[in-house]
């Protein structure tokens, strides 16, 4: 046989590695599982809500307050600050200025000094005094019960409005999205959004309205105790088996 023909036949015999039957089936199964997996599946969401309710049946707002006004002030102070720190500051603040009427007449320098340790104290003091003046001047000294009116008050954005409506007035018009809710909702793949507004909209679509208030309280407690920011305690987590977060520290699957 001529050498040229031998070379041609050899080049035509290209060896292609084949998968055995088991490997092929495993690959097919993996592709199917990936295509079927839906983190926002109603059953999965229901499981998450049920377990949160089991572990935190009596979860309430962590900010200490006696009325809607105190809750609103405490929530304004909680921006970029821990609830623990806010709870250390507010008792003295509320003794000195117990009502919106009293706070409306406060000197900003004095309020600044009292809330200094919460951070951004100048802006917070200005907002608290402005909020008091708005509540006194426009709402007869009573914190309003509609989100439209609440959003006209200095220092009150949607998160604060939802806190006041949900925790004090028991009106669930939205989901409170703080740093814990944001982080854990993303870890649990309940949302891919990165802004509080969009995360809230995603959660409102997934979670029954009757659970909006409790969901936030429970997630916040869960975030403090177990699903912490830097090193989540996955080995102790009651949601570990339904969580596929990339930053898990321990896993059974």
Residues assigned a catalytic role = 159, 178
Looking up tokens 């814990």, which residue turns up?
180
- Region of 244 on the Ramachandran plot (φ > 0 left; ψ -120 to 50 alpha; else beta): alpha
Round to whole Å and give the CA distance between 8 and 19.
27
Round to whole Å and give the CA distance between 230 and 79.
20
State phi, psi for 177 to the nearest 5 degrees: -115, 100
Round to whole Å and give the CA distance between 245 and 75.
30
Which helix (DSSP H) or strand (DSSP E) does residue 205 occupy?
helix 196-206
144's CB contacts (< 8 A; 6+ apart) are: 135, 150, 153
Round to whole Å and give the CA distance between 178 and 233.
20
First to last CA, the chain: 59
Burial of 62 (0-12, 13-18, 19+ CB in 10 A): middle
Helix axes 212-225, 42-55, angle to 10 degrees: 70
């Amino acid at each position: 046989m001529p050498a040229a023909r031998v070379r041609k036949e050899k080049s035509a015999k290209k060896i292609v590695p084949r998968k055995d039957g088991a490997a092929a089936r495993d690959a097919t199964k993996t592709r199917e599982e990936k295509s079927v997996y839906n983190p926002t599946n109603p059953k999965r969401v229901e499981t998450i809500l049920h377990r949160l309710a089991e572990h935190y049946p009596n979860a309430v707002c962590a900010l200490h307050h006696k009325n809607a006004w105190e809750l609103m002030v405490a929530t304004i102070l909680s921006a970029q600050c821990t609830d623990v720190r806010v709870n250390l500051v507010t008792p003295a603040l509320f003794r000195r200025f117990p009502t919106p009427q009293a706070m409306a007449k406060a000197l900003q320098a004095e309020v600044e000094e009292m809330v200094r340790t919460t951070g951004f104290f100048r802006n917070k003091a200005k907002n608290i005094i402005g909020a008091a003046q708005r509540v006194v001047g426009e709402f007869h000294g009573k914190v309003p019960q509609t989100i439209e009116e609440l959003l006209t008050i200095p220092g009150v954005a949607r998160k604060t409005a939802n806190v006041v409506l949900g925790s004090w007035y028991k009106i669930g018009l939205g989901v409170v999205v703080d740093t814990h809710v944001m982080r854990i909702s993303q870890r649990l793949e309940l949302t891919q959004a990165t802004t509080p507004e969009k995360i809230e909209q995603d959660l409102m679509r997934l979670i029954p309205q009757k659970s909006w208030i409790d969901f936030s309280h429970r997630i916040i407690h869960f975030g403090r105790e177990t699903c912490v920011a830097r090193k989540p305690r996955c080995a102790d987590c009651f949601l570990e088996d339904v969580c596929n977060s990339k930053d898990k520290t321990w896993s059974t699957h």
